[in-house]
């Protein structure tokens, strides 16, 4: 392969040269020159183009990574700002929750004090009512005794006047005694009136205290509802905060990976720049050596142009050199192909890394979706629970007042006492219903008891609470009215006697007590009271 550049080193013959040199001019144009200079230049140009392409590709990658890193930094700054806002909101919610807790504790303490004060007032009222009742009984007894004594004294005075054995001075004494009795009666009436006024005042205070208690109970329920809402908000904020933290960690990992890749690319670019500078220096050195060798070859060719053996040797050297250059070019092409394959494998490794990152992001997205579904389920459960609580509150607010107590029952027939086992069995069956009814009425029967149960204050059972409720009164009325169908029951002899439970024994004891009270009241009613016993 020849070109015009190969004739640059041909000797130039001047007109003043000898005939031998002039006759050799036509033969110089057919002598092939060595081709290693063109191969070196071609290889240098190929290497320069290859490194320039690599540099441009690395520069494009660097710019893309720089753009991606700036985008990641902006997203990180946005996430940091959102995180700070959520932290501030979380702190404010914490402060509100602490204030609500303090207010709830204060209201609970006030309601406890009010409840204890109400208990003290109620016990005082009970004592005063019992004292007033005893005073009324004593006053009635004294009034009856006074009337009886007045009758007896009148009878005795008549007898004494008839027999003329009594002096006139004794009569004013009786009048003084009657006036003193009337004075005691007036004092008792005044005391009763004062106690009645005190009882009215205490009842007014009791109604006001119950109203305050009801208001405090409603306020505590509203505060409890607000506390549940704040708890749900706090849980949602914590979930969002956790998700943002995970997102921040993921972005931090991605930014670290990007920074690592950027560092590696910068090092690679620096290395390529150093290689390019080294190759440039080597090219300059090769250019200098080429010019020197070109000059030397021109001189040598001018010396050995007439020797055929040297010309054949030069031709053989040229063929060998061309073959060597072809082998070097083929070797360089194979090296370039291997380098390209290695780059492809590195690109495949980076692709696998990006696929792994994509799988990680998909798993995190799946976890976030699951957490969102769980949060939606919890929110729906909380909404249904709040609706149920509102329905229960409305149902409790719309409950009618308790019915008045039933009238006093009729005296029991003798048939109900003849079969205690049957009555015990029927009472045992109805006791479950009465216990269930009383258990259902525990929550809505007395607001004071509900308040005590809600606050966790232990309450001693009163003496009147031992008596059964309306279900036991119905049972007693049915027993006394003879509405039970008594059937004779036969049990096997080998069966053990079944002990009744404690509730049935207590009910039987109450029934016996009621019967004894009824008998004592009937015995007292046999003696007719005096006509003027009522006050």
**What is the CB neighbour count within 10 angstroms for residue 514?**
18
CA distance 267 to 261: 10
Encoding tokens for residue 263? 């560092």
Mean pLDDT of 341-368: 78
One-character DSSP codes across 444-498: TS-HHHHHHHHHT---PPPSGGGS--HHHHHHHHHHHHT----------TTSPPP
| In contact, 75 and 187? CB cutoff 8 Å | no
pLDDT reported for residue 213: 86
* Residue 454 scores a pLDDT above 80: no
The single-letter DSSP state of residue 530 is P
Phi, psi for residue 32 in degrees, rounded to 5: -75, 135
**What is the CB neighbour count within 10 angstroms for residue 314?**
19
Encoding tokens for residue 179? 């006036």
Encoding tokens for residue 296? 């030397």
H or E segment and range at residue 499: none
Least confident of 21-35, 172-186, 485-499: 21-35
Dihedral sign for Cα 11, 14, 17, 22, please. positive
pLDDT digits (tens, 9 = 90+) for 111-136: 888 888 888 888 778 877 888 888 88
More confidently predicted of 395 and 99: 99
At 169, is the secondary structure helix, strand, or coil?
coil
CA distance 413 to 419: 12
pLDDT digits (tens, 9 = 90+) for 379-411: 778 778 777 777 777 777 665 555 555 555 554
At 115, is the secondary structure helix, strand, or coil?
helix
Dihedral sign for Cα 323, 326, 328, 334, please. negative
CA distance 209 to 214: 9
* Residue 255 scores a pLDDT above 60: yes
Q: Which residue's entry shows tokens 């004062």?
A: 194
Least confident of 49-53, 83-87, 167-171, 417-421: 417-421
Q: Cβ neighbours of residue 115 under 8 Å, at least 6 residues apart?
A: 213, 448, 451, 452, 455, 457
Q: Cβ neighbours of residue 73 under 8 Å, at least 6 residues apart?
A: 255
CA distance 408 to 525: 15
pLDDT reported for residue 427: 44
pLDDT reported for residue 88: 92
pLDDT reported for residue 404: 53
pLDDT reported for residue 85: 92
More confidently predicted of 20 and 57: 57
pLDDT > 90 in the chain, percent: 5
* Residue 520 scores a pLDDT above 70: no
Mean pLDDT of 469-486: 60
More confidently predicted of 265 and 437: 265
Q: What pLDDT band is residue 99 in, cutting at 50, 70 and 90?
A: very high
Encoding tokens for residue 87? 């932290």
Q: What's the mean pLDDT when you consider all of the chain?
A: 71
| In contact, 216 and 107? CB cutoff 8 Å | yes
Q: Cβ neighbours of residue 371 under 8 Å, at least 6 residues apart?
A: 239, 243
H or E segment and range at residue 306: none
Encoding tokens for residue 410? 């009729």
């Amino acid at each position: 392969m020849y070109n015009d550049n190969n004739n640059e080193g041909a000797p130039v013959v001047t007109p003043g040269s000898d005939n031998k040199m002039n006759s050799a001019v036509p033969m110089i144009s057919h002598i092939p020159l060595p081709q290693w200079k063109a191969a070196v230049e071609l290889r240098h140009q190929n290497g320069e183009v290859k490194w320039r392409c690599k540099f441009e590709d690395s520069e494009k990658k660097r710019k893309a990574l720089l753009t991606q890193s700036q985008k990641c930094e902006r997203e990180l700054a946005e996430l940091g700002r959102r995180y700070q806002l959520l932290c501030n909101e979380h702190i404010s919610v914490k402060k509100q929750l602490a204030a609500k807790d303090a207010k709830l504790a204060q209201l609970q303490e006030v309601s406890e004090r009010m409840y204890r004060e109400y208990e003290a007032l109620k016990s005082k009222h009970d004592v005063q009512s019992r004292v007033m009742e005893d005073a009324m009984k004593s006053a009635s007894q004294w009034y009856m005794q006074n009337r009886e004594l007045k009758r007896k004294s009148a009878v005795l005075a008549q007898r004494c006047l008839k027999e003329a054995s009594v002096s006139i001075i004794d009569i004013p004494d009786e009048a003084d005694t009657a006036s003193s009795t009337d004075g005691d009666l007036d004092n008792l009436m005044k005391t009763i009136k004062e106690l009645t006024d005190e009882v009215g005042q205490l009842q007014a205070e009791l109604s006001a205290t119950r109203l305050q208690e009801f208001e405090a109970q409603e306020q505590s329920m509203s505060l409890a509802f607000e506390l549940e809402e704040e708890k749900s908000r706090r849980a949602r904020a914590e979930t969002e905060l956790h998700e943002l933290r995970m997102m921040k960690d993921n972005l931090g990992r991605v930014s670290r990976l990007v920074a690592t890749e950027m560092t590696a690319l910068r090092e690679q670019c620096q290395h390529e720049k150093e290689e390019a500078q080294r190759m440039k220096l080597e090219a300059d050195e090769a250019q200098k050596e080429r010019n020197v060798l070109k000059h030397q070859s021109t001189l040598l060719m001018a010396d050995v142009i007439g020797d055929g053996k040297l010309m054949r040797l030069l031709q053989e050297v040229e063929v060998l050199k061309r073959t060597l250059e072809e082998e070097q070019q083929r070797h360089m092409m194979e090296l370039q192909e291997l380098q390209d394959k290695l780059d492809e494998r590195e690109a495949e490794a980076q692709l696998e890394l990006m696929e792994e990152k994509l799988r990680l992001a998909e798993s995190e997205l799946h976890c976030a979706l699951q957490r969102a579904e769980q949060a939606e389920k919890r929110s729906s459960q909380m909404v249904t629970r709040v609706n149920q609580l509102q329905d229960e509150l409305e149902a409790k607010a719309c409950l009618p007042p308790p019915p008045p107590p039933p009238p006093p029952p009729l005296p029991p027939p003798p048939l109900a006492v003849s079969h205690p086992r049957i009555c015990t069995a029927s009472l045992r069956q109805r006791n479950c219903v009465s216990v269930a009814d009383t258990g259902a009425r525990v929550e809505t029967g007395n607001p004071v008891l509900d308040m005590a149960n809600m606050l966790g204050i232990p309450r001693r059972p009163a003496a009147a609470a031992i008596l059964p409720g309306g279900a036991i009164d119905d049972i007693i009325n049915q027993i006394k009215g003879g509405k039970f169908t008594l059937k004779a029951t036969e049990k096997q002899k080998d069966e053990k006697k079944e002990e009744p439970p404690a509730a049935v024994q207590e009910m039987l004891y109450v029934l016996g007590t009621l019967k004894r009270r009824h008998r004592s009241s009937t015995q007292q009613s046999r003696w007719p009271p005096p006509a003027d016993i009522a006050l």
